[in-house]
Amino acid sequence: MTGLCCSAVLCTACGSGNSQSADKSGSPGRSIYVPEVPESRVSEDEPGETLTINLGETLNYKDKLDITLDQIIELDDVDKMKYRVVIAEVTIANKTTEKIDCSTLTHFSAIIDGEEADDAVYDVQVSVPARKYYTKINSPLKSFNQEIKGGETFKGYVELLAPSSWSDMQITYMPYKFYNNDVVLLNLDEAKFTHYSEPL
């Protein structure tokens, strides 16, 4: 991924004992969980399966994960003539005995009107209001930025910097990035958004 703005906070690589001195989310004070990359990572040319989830649906991914798109929220307290802030709340249940990595930086991106928009899911313009929103409603929900151990379930959110208007938009999730190229598309149907209009 390219075009990332970095700030100086500690970013620790799980399982490797190494650290990096940049928060590639562009969010002040937020460290990013860095997954361990296997030496024999899958080629980007290797074909993968594409699956789609709509709001309220649960996808069983190869008897390994249950992935649910719980809610899609739009924060209205922004200048919508310039951009829009959309948040997808997602529950991931790890049905295996092995941990999986789950980082917004590496495992999630976006497709807007057929064009890839990788940077849209970790832009500071959306990460800051998203945190303010969950603080204001007294919710402990956090963005995906950790491992999910075998047998555990984690509910988190992915924030998205959206344009003022669009025809078709998805958040993409690669559950086993580096190991296969399967993609889960979280379909963002604007008609089903929950709007939060209070000031942040």
d(CA 142, CA 157): 6
Per-residue pLDDT of the chain (200 residues; tens, 9 = 90+): 433 333 323 333 333 333 333 344 444 445 667 777 888 889 988 999 999 999 999 999 999 999 999 999 999 999 999 999 999 999 999 999 999 999 988 899 999 999 999 889 978 889 999 999 999 999 999 999 999 999 999 999 999 999 999 999 999 999 999 999 999 999 999 999 999 999 99
**Helix%, strand%, coil% for the chain, nearest 5:** 10, 40, 50
Q: What are phi and psi of 22, to 5 degrees?
A: -140, 140
Predicted TM-score of the model (pTM) = 0.83
CATH class of 50-196: mainly beta
